[in-house]
Structure 1
Amino acid sequence: MKNRIKERISKLRAEMEKSGIDGWYLSGTDPHQSEYLPDYWQIRNFISGFNGSMGFMAVTQKHAALWTDSRYFLQAADQLKDTGINLMKLRVEGTPSPAKWLGDLLPNKAIIGTDASCMSTAQYQDMQKDLASEQLQLSDCGDLMEAIWTERPQLPADPVFEHDTKYTGQSRLEKIEAIRAVMSTAYCEACLLTALDEIAWTFNLRGNDISFNPVFVSFALITHKHIHLYLNPEKIASTLNTKLTSEGITIKAYQAVYDDLKNINSLLIDPDRTNQALIDAIAPEAQINFQLSAATCLKAIKSDHEISMFRKAMRKDGVAMVKFLHWLYANVGKTAISEYDVLLKLNEFRAQQENFMGPSFHSIVGYNENGAVVHRSVSPETAAAIHAEGILLMDSGGQYLEGTTDITRTVSLSEPSQLAKEDFTLALKGTIGLADLKFPANTAGCNLDLAARQAMWKTGRNYGHGTGHGIGFFLNVHEGPMSIRQEYNNRVIEPGMVLSDEPAFYREGQYGIRTENVIVCKEWQTNEYGHFLQFETLTLCPIDTRLIAKELLSPDEIDWLNNYHKACFEELAPALNNEEKAFLQELTKAI
């Protein structure tokens, strides 16, 4: 494999020379700025061998580098070894930006090529400025993979299907009217939707074009008179096409959006979600109003109906998790179990639940030292054997018609060490700290991050990833624009937003620890001092009390945990058999 990567880099350099570019920059995404990609756009994986979900590359005739974040440092170091591609650790002091790295290697006025259709206009303009400061130029060289990737996969042709209004609570025309209201406020003729999850949400349609994300490759253009949905027409069955047509929705070829944009006079455009090639297709005289996508804003605030559906999904997921834990404890140390077996069993128990549509991501399973690989992608070939000792981390989730789930549980398979208990409890204090937080309205997610980290910071511990990400409604398990993390983000957390709550701690070579729940922001109170919000935990699954150092928890934290476990038993027990119910009762005993 390493030799094939070197060969592909060599072919890329030949294409760079033909195109007259001195360096090549790969954004690592697709024309829709997706985190997870259809196989057709898995260029980063193909050209580097690194298969993490985040990373970008730069290549010159003599050097190559890949940047990724702390979730993937260990994985990337292993996958890039002996390929000639250097690992650049994002947010680590001393790591140069791609522009700086290229500027140090190339002469002034060197040309850096990239595929403008796979960079948002915000990213493209930022890169232009960064390269200009290094006396370099950015140029759209298009997709260079045609001559290199001879067996490149085709774009998926799987059919699109409806997400019924009994789940969504709103019709697509109601959602489109809400978008049109935003267009009117902005005095714009049209709104361009490019992110796949916002199109799927707006049109109450779902697909299978990306593993784990129920979306389909498409664009949408909404005007005050017309609604155009751009995709492969073969993906729409005749009955669905008839229904969409009756609602005034026109199906057009995927690439036709580029021509149609030439005829629009004023547009709402999201600069972070709209690729530069689309911007280049707009008539020069057209007025563009750059702002966060109306669909993304609407989608982020879950309705009461959507939240009620989430509760149903969480109960189903909790039942599956309890059945899984019952199986694990009954079999570990008695039969051969690997990390991959755990992944399969998690899927198996979820598949027993009604309206399960598949996992929401490739489950992360890490036994002992593998748990410290934050986003470990386990396979049958790489799976370690699990024994009745040590610590097991499992990060998994499901897609249900009622919602998307994401849960991490860390369990001890033997008597844990005092250090492991301390690490686990400090991370758990962070999970509780955020879940139990009361805060003023209009508070940004980055300002809430401290609640999850302060207990660890007091002991000199930390974790390198974010604390919380938005979660879609039978959509992407990672959803913006909201987040809870250290990096600055001015998006405030609002009632109806559904997020993860996942403080963690990792000891390289020993274990990984993470307790992740899904939370929803809701109203708390308004008084003479202001308007306050709080979180409610939606996830229902026991937390391993054997890993808790009780002396590190405050009375309020103990009350939170005991109340949480009481709710888990009350909500999940009715769906379990007697043996599983007794098992759950033992796991949820008050401490």
Structure 2
Amino acid sequence: MTTQTFPPAVFQSFDEKSDPSDVAPRLAALRGALAKAGVDAFLVPRADAHRGESVPPGEARLAYMTGFTGSAGFAVVGADKAGLFVDSRYTLQAPAQTDTKAVTIHEWLQGGLSVEIGDYVPEGGIIAYDPWLHTPGEIRDLAEKLAGRATLKPSANLVDTIWADRPGAPVTPIEFLGHNRSGKNASDKIAELQAALATDHADATVLTLPESICWLLNMRGRDVPNTPFVLGFAIVPQTGLPTLYLDAAKITAELSQSLDGIAHVASSDTLPAALASLGKDGKAVLIDPASAPEAIAASLKNAGAKLIEKRDPVLLPKSRKNDAELGGMREAHRLDGIALAKFLSWFDSAAPKGDQTEIGLVTALEAFRREEETCVDASFDTISGAGPNGAIVHYRVTTKTDRTLQPGELMLLDSGAQYLAGTTDITRTMSTGSSTPEQRDRFTRVLKGMIAISMAKFPKGTSGAQIDVLARQFLWQDGVTYNHGTGHGVGAYLGVHEGPIGISSRYTMPLELGNVISNEPGYYKAGEYGIRIENLIVVVESASPGFLEFETITLAPIDTRLVDKTLLTEAERVWLNSYHQRVWDEIGPLVSGSTREWLKGATAAI
């Protein structure tokens, strides 16, 4: 089978999403808007009001202004200069997408907006921002950093005033999960949330994160790519029914009927009045200062509400997947395992020919996944990095960057899917022929780190920050590391990245039963190759009282041709062989022909 026989991809586009030549004229137009507004600069974040990793086209203001399409970052546009701030994942992507003559790129350590924003205005200047796109915590932090160097001023969004052909808000179908998929009725979830509000002495909470609202109401949608979100807001009182605020075009008789007795439905246009009413009545309202828009916090405060600032109260219960959700996630990974077996078998026969491209590989994998009718989307744009492109951690292939995979190069493929049962995320680094001793050494050290996490047993109360070193230790021993987290939380037919748990220095919340997390150490040699191995794992009870451990739910072979067996301990070898035996036992009966024969060899013991 050749790449040309696969149908075109539908989950992912390979078009260039931006043109650097657009940047300078758009900056000039925005500067005209600055002058009219009487301000010296305007902040342009990547985020929308819902803080999502994916945003609708009409919310992609950072891409519109700078050309940068990464999932995190922000810009500041001053009267005579502009800056684009991106983290270490995007230091190669950003200069390729923007006009570096018009925009200065800064490497940004996430943890609030950068104090260097102040360099883009004169002393005592005014920096305007859209309060719907920034959080209270973010604005307070920046004000402290600027310390009188400049003044922050809430404003209408100045980018919108110059974006003549800005796309409208999405209006897509909404579905509701049955108990077999959600595992808990929405009314029960709401009652538990209301009990938590009573404990916090809160009269109500305002929910702004779509994953929280969708999980609470057992609701899913298609408002953004890759993630089954419905974009909206919700107010949940301590007693009585919540109110869901949506674009009026989404409100149908069917929707209202589906939520009858669970929640009221109202137009988003009425949200400001509802916030003012809470304030007028002097209610104590819980908001998350790290995710709620500053506009909501200001409306409540100005109307007289007492603000209780705490983490979104849905995030933690959502991260503890129940039996039905875990059953769905395991089923999704079983389905994904079938697709991966077919793809990897095909890849092994096709790659050595030297005519496969990065786009072709994405297209092939999507085609194998779409053979399963319950696969409804990719969970993110596939990272398909051949040879040196594999060293770009969040590489997105386009028709401009598409590279032909050469025999002997390493191929890194990080992908995931949204099945109706659950969400997947898997990375495999594959051999295409001969490999160097260095490549095998690095691959094996990454594998040892992944196995160390997989085999970890830890006391209850342990956080992901505490076990992160287990994955890095073998690379550290050779004086190298990787500059991304070892693992992130994963939603159950929700976002492929979800908090508040994960495995890295920034995840200090204790891991709990039912957490689903990625396990993905890596190594990247700029200009040459990249290595990452990723499985998803579930926190489960250990046989040792008071301890937890992990269950691996991803079911796909790891390329043992890249393993330096002399570096593995006996325990690591046993784990790898046991994992591959499980892949064979669970996926082998579900595939046939050449795929089955290939899988038998790929899962053979070493």
TM-score past 0.5 threshold: yes
Q: Which amino acid aligns with 1:397?
A: G
How many angstroms does 1:99 deviate by? 4.8
Give 2:428's match in structure 1, choosing from 402, 409, 417: 409
Q: Does 1:193 align with 2:207?
A: yes
CA distance in 2, matches of 1:381, 1:354: 31
Aligned to 1:239: 254
How many angstroms does 1:226 deviate by? 2.5
Q: Is contact 2:113–2:138 with CA below 8 Å preserved after alignment?
A: no
CA distance in 2, matches of 1:147, 1:257: 23
Aligned to 1:287: 306
Matches within 5 A, 1:435-584: 435-486=454-505, 488-525=506-543, 527=545, 531-584=546-599
How many angstroms does 1:67 deviate by? 1.3
How many angstroms does 1:321 deviate by? 0.4
CA distance in 1, matches of 2:452, 2:83: 39
Matches within 5 A, 1:349-388: 349-388=368-407
How many angstroms does 1:165 deviate by? 2.0
Give 1:312's match in structure 2, choosing from 312, 331, 337: 331
Aligned to 1:113: 128
Matches within 5 A, 1:5-404: 5-91=23-109, 99-131=114-146, 133-223=147-237, 224-245=239-260, 247-264=261-278, 265-284=283-302, 285-334=304-353, 336-404=355-423
Q: Is contact 2:76–2:120 with CA below 8 Å preserved after alignment?
A: no
Q: Is contact 2:42–2:158 with CA below 8 Å preserved after alignment?
A: no
Q: Is contact 1:103–1:134 with CA below 8 Å preserved after alignment?
A: no
Q: Do the aligned partners of residues 391 and 429 (structure 1) sit closer, same or farther apart at CA in structure 2, a change above 3 Å counting? A: same
Q: Do the aligned partners of residues 66 and 510 (structure 1) sit closer, same or farther apart at CA in structure 2, a change above 3 Å counting? A: same
CA distance in 2, matches of 1:255, 1:567: 53
Q: Once the two structures are superposed, what CA deviation does each residue of 1:450-501 show, in whole Å capped at 9, x if it has no partner?
A: 0110110110111111111000010010001112113x44311111111101
Q: Once the two structures are superposed, what CA deviation does each residue of 1:177-207 show, in whole Å capped at 9, x if it has no partner?
A: 1111111212222121110111111111111
Q: Do the aligned partners of residues 335 and 372 (structure 1) sit closer, same or farther apart at CA in structure 2, a change above 3 Å counting? A: closer
Q: Do the aligned partners of residues 294 and 418 (structure 1) sit closer, same or farther apart at CA in structure 2, a change above 3 Å counting? A: same
Q: Is contact 1:423–1:505 with CA below 8 Å preserved after alignment?
A: yes
Q: Once the two structures are superposed, what CA deviation does each residue of 1:278-319 show, in whole Å capped at 9, x if it has no partner?
A: 111115432222111121111011112211211111111011
How many angstroms does 1:334 deviate by? 4.1
SS at match of 1:255: helix
How many angstroms does 1:363 deviate by? 0.4
SS at match of 2:92: helix
> What's the TM-score, normalizing by structure 1?
0.95
CA distance in 1, matches of 2:82, 2:463: 37
Q: Is contact 1:23–1:102 with CA below 8 Å preserved after alignment?
A: no
CA distance in 2, matches of 1:217, 1:193: 11
Q: Is contact 1:160–1:236 with CA below 8 Å preserved after alignment?
A: no
Q: Is contact 2:352–2:433 with CA below 8 Å preserved after alignment?
A: no
Q: Once the two structures are superposed, what CA deviation does each residue of 1:121-149 show, in whole Å capped at 9, x if it has no partner?
A: 11121112112x25211111221123321
How many angstroms does 1:231 deviate by? 0.6
SS at match of 1:116: coil
CA distance in 2, matches of 1:155, 1:442: 42
Q: Is contact 2:186–2:262 with CA below 8 Å preserved after alignment?
A: no
CA distance in 2, matches of 1:255, 1:9: 31
Q: Which amino acid aligns with 2:58?
A: Y
> Which shifted more, 174-183 or 381-390?
381-390
Flag structure 2 segments of 5+ consecutive residues without an equivalent.
Answer: 1-18
Q: Do the aligned partners of residues 558 and 330 (structure 1) sit closer, same or farther apart at CA in structure 2, a change above 3 Å counting? A: same
Q: Is contact 1:80–1:86 with CA below 8 Å preserved after alignment?
A: no
SS at match of 1:460: coil
How many angstroms does 1:332 deviate by? 2.5
SS at match of 1:289: strand
CA distance in 1, matches of 2:269, 2:179: 29
Q: Is contact 2:23–2:99 with CA below 8 Å preserved after alignment?
A: no
Identity %: 34
How many angstroms does 1:526 deviate by? 5.0
Q: Is contact 1:111–1:137 with CA below 8 Å preserved after alignment?
A: yes
CA distance in 2, matches of 1:6, 1:81: 7
CA distance in 1, matches of 2:508, 2:367: 40
CA distance in 1, matches of 2:112, 2:374: 45
Q: Do the aligned partners of residues 23 and 233 (structure 1) sit closer, same or farther apart at CA in structure 2, a change above 3 Å counting? A: closer
Q: Do the aligned partners of residues 3 and 582 (structure 1) sit closer, same or farther apart at CA in structure 2, a change above 3 Å counting? A: closer
SS at match of 1:465: coil
CA distance in 2, matches of 1:173, 1:222: 12
CA distance in 1, matches of 2:336, 2:177: 20
Q: Is contact 2:287–2:310 with CA below 8 Å preserved after alignment?
A: yes
Q: Once the two structures are superposed, what CA deviation does each residue of 1:231-289 show, in whole Å capped at 9, x if it has no partner?
A: 124324433322312x2422111232221011121212111121100111115432222
CA distance in 2, matches of 1:288, 1:64: 35
> Which shifted more, 233-242 or 249-258?
233-242
CA distance in 2, matches of 1:358, 1:97: 32
> Which shifted more, 120-129 or 504-513?
120-129
SS at match of 1:82: coil
> Which shifted more, 82-91 or 176-185?
82-91
How many angstroms does 1:323 deviate by? 0.5
> Which shifted more, 423-432 or 105-114?
105-114
How many angstroms does 1:400 deviate by? 1.0
Q: Which amino acid aligns with 1:410?
A: T
> Which shifted more, 189-198 or 71-80?
71-80
> Which shifted more, 142-151 or 417-426?
142-151
Q: Which amino acid aligns with 2:142?
A: M
> Which shifted more, 225-234 or 497-506?
225-234
Q: Is contact 1:99–1:134 with CA below 8 Å preserved after alignment?
A: no
Q: Which amino acid aligns with 1:275?
A: P
How many angstroms does 1:118 deviate by? 0.3
Q: Which amino acid aligns with 1:177?
A: A
Q: Which amino acid aligns with 1:532?
A: F
SS at match of 1:146: helix
How many angstroms does 1:90 deviate by? 2.3
CA distance in 1, matches of 2:410, 2:533: 13
Q: Once the two structures are superposed, what CA deviation does each residue of 1:153-189 show, in whole Å capped at 9, x if it has no partner?
A: 1111112122222111112111111111111212222
> What RMSD over aligned residues (CA atoms) do the two structures have, in Å?
1.7
Q: Do the aligned partners of residues 83 and 574 (structure 1) sit closer, same or farther apart at CA in structure 2, a change above 3 Å counting? A: farther
Q: Do the aligned partners of residues 388 and 526 (structure 1) sit closer, same or farther apart at CA in structure 2, a change above 3 Å counting? A: closer
SS at match of 1:71: helix
Flag structure 1 segments of 5+ consecutive residues without an equivalent.
Answer: none
